Each structure stands twice: as structure tokens, then as C-alpha cells.
Amino acid sequence: MKALLDFLPILLFFGAYKLWGIYPATGVLMAATAAQMAIIYAIDKKLTTMHKATLALILVFGTLTLVLQDDRFIKWKPTVLYAAMAVALAVALWVYRKNFLKIMLGSQLNLPDPVWNRLTVAWMIYCLFMAAINGYVAAFWTTDAWANFKLWGYVFPVAFIIGQGFYVARHLQDEPAASDTPPSESQG
């Protein structure tokens, strides 16, 4: 359900783009993302910083696209978002000595600190790659080609997340559960 919810705004954007063009599609993307965040908030009772940043950037860049009738704004939004994520992860890790991935996911995954650090660096590289590739497509390709890239470009995050899953699985540490304590020797 959550995976579908994550892809729904881009699917609606792509469909609206194919039917009506970039400006109506931008409005659809803005509305779909706002609805997506409302649903996430209703389910989780909170929005992550990433959710808030995504919503803010879509609303700001979408508004600029519609008001100025300039599709460059909506096309460059992913580049800004990915670059900001890479910078935030780098500053947190190397300046403040905080690992955001561990802070966000540490209660769900028991991993050694060096693995958390490698994951964070991998996310930085991935975000820079995605920022660069979107920037290239936005700058040098047509809007139609960019819209197709937005849909079919989801192969990159899917491949990255699957690869990350395999990497994490190799390094998961078992936590002893309270019920795993050995029986007392007086039993028997």
C-alpha cells in the first residue's frame, strides 16, 4: 500500500502530462502530493523531514511553474531536492558527527556504526547522481523526454533500494530477545 502511495503522484503527473500538458500536470502533481502527505499523516500521525521538504519544494516550484508559465521550475525541483539531501547528509555526518540514517532507522535496524556510515555515503553518492542526471535531462532534453524520464527513471531508486537491502541484510546483527535467556540450571 505504501509503495503505491509513494508512486501515485508521479503516475498521476505522467498521466495528466500525456493528456493535458505540463501545466495541468503540475497542478495535478501538487494536489496529489498534498493528498499523499495528508494520507501519510493520517496513518503515521507525523511527516518526516523528507516528506515536508518534498511537499514544500513541489508546492514552491509548482507554483512558480504555474504563475510564471515556465516549465523549468518543475523540471529542476528533483535536482534541488536530491542535491539538498546529499548536502544535508554530508554536513550532518562530517560536520556535526550525526548519522541521519541511523537516527531515522536505527530503531528498526541493528547495524554496526561503520555500516551506517557507508550507507550514508552511498545515499550521498546516489543523491548526487540523481541530482546530476535529472539536471542533465532537465537542461538538455525536451519536456516530453523529461516527463518520460521521470516515469521510467524510477528504475534508479528501485535498483538502489534493492541493492541497499542486500547490503544491509549481510550486516544485520541479531539482538538477544528477553525470551532467549537460557533456562535456569535448577530446572530439571
- Contact call for residues 5 and 40 (beta carbons, < 8 A): yes
At residue 177, the pLDDT reads 45
For residue 182, pLDDT over 60 is answered with: no
At residue 186, the pLDDT reads 46
Tens of pLDDT, residue by residue over 75-110, are 999 999 999 999 999 999 999 999 999 998 888 888
Q: pTM score > 0.85 for this model?
A: no
At residue 60, the pLDDT reads 97
At residue 179, the pLDDT reads 45
pLDDT band at 188 (very low <50, low <70, confident <90, very high): very low
At residue 107, the pLDDT reads 86
Tell me the average pLDDT across 56-74. 96
- Contact call for residues 163 and 91 (beta carbons, < 8 A): no
Domain boundaries, the chain: 1-70, 71-173
Give the highest mean pLDDT range of 3-7, 127-131, 182-186: 127-131
Integer Cα distance of 64 and 97 in angstroms = 36
pLDDT band at 41 (very low <50, low <70, confident <90, very high): very high
DSSP letter for each residue of the chain: -HHHHHHHHHHHHHHHHHHH-HHHHHHHHHHHHHHHHHHHHHHHSS--HHHHHHHHHHHHHHHHHHHHT-THHHHHHHHHHHHHHHHHHHHHHHTS---HHHHHHTTT----HHHHHHHHHHHHHHHHHHHHHHHHHHHHS-HHHHHHHHHHTTHHHHHHHHHHHHHHHHH--PPPPGGGSPPPTT--
At residue 174, the pLDDT reads 64
